Homo-oligomer: A and B are copies of this chain.
Amino acid sequence: MIELDDVRQAAARLDGVAHRTPALSSRTLDERAGARVYLKAENLQRVGAFKFRGAYNAIASLSPAERDRGVAAVSSGNHAQAVALAARLLGTQATILMPEDAPANKLAATRGYGAEVIGFDRYAVQRDELLDELVTTRGLVAVHPYEDPRVQAGQGTLALELLEQAGPLDAVLVPIGGGGLISGVATAVKALAADTRVIGVQPQTGDDARRSLAAGHRVELPVPRTICDGQQAPIGENTWAVIHERVDDVVVASDAETVAAMVFAFERLKLVIEPSGACALAALLAGRVAIAPDMRIGVVITGGNVSPERFGELTDELRRAERSHP
């Protein structure tokens, strides 16, 4: 299990390479949420998502011999771009397995960073087995999107920054997909500010972390159908161990609440946020988290990789749904 020192070492590796993203505040948001809110805007991170932090830390931690072999990853999108860019920056070659129905902009961006992309059917195959096979066949080094402790430590660096930028917080809301981000964040937060609650947020249809915490053991669910394509992976064994020990609670947001949060972010915050990236903000705005006046809440905005076309489709659907169920 990773510890604070791993996160601190990752921060040293990322210094001057990753953006120190702003922790944004907005009176409008504070009024809507009934609390003082700090948005850690990782949509402004390199590759448009927090994933860069983990991928870079993992690849920067490899030996020269490992880097010579090249790296491989499986991802619905942002981890793919992150590994591709980190590999390029660190002088190694990346091969990425991506779902065939991943957003076109994510596929194109990954190839644009010089990676080889291999497609697969996200509803038909076990992604981890596919990666194992690729790695074995080609002799590559796998960079797992969330089970790799170096990835978790790298992703946790955003919590070090958030605590410095925002000061004391009552709670931090963190989207959960595979659980790498919240593992890193909870490790840093619980070591530095034990009283700060760490609350995970999942799509309503894919709440395996919430069910797992309730059951006391890791619960597995089928791949959820949700607009939050970055949150379709199940939590892993390693991330479950960290979540079990260090995460206080998990709440959910519906897809409609997530689109409403994306629209709020566009209109009032002037930020482009992808569905998975807006999940924690959605939970806050939809009243899914118990808020007392004067609470200070950190919210991680994990990414912004949504195309204008997809954003338009999602907002059109939301408006149609609002008209038919006013």
Across the two chains, which residue of chain B brings its CB closest to A46? B27
Query: How would you classify the secondary structure of chain A's contact residues: helix, strand, loop or mixed?
Result: helix
Contact B270 A307 (CB under 8 A): no
Instruction: State whether A307 touches B24 (Cβ < 8 A).
Output: no
Whether the Cβ atoms of A304 and B27 lie closer than 8 Å is no
CB-based contact A48/B308 at 8 Å: no
The 8 Å CB contact of A105, one of B267, B271, B304, is B267
Contact status B315-A308, CB under 8 Å: yes
Q: How many Å lie between the Cα of A263 and that of B315 in the bound state?
A: 17
Q: Which interface class (under 10, 10 to 19, 20 to 34, 35 or more) fits A?
A: 20 to 34
Contact (Cβ within 8 A) B271 A308: no
B267, A307: Cβ atoms closer than 8 Å: yes
Beta-carbon contact of B27 and A44 below 8 Å: no
Distance A43 CA – B304 CA, assembled complex (angstroms): 17
Q: Write the nearest CB–CB distance from A20 to chain B, whole angstroms.
A: 10
Select from chain B the residue with minimum beta-carbon distance to A303.
B270
Chain A residues within CB distance 8 Å of chain B: 19, 22, 24-25, 27, 43-44, 46, 48, 105, 263, 266-273, 304, 307-308, 311-312, 315
Q: List 24 A-B contacts (CB under 8 A).
A: A19-B25, A22-B22, A24-B44, A27-B46, A44-B269, A44-B270, A48-B268, A48-B270, A105-B267, A263-B308, A266-B308, A266-B311, A267-B307, A267-B308, A270-B271, A270-B272, A270-B273, A270-B304, A271-B271, A271-B272, A272-B272, A308-B311, A308-B312, A308-B315
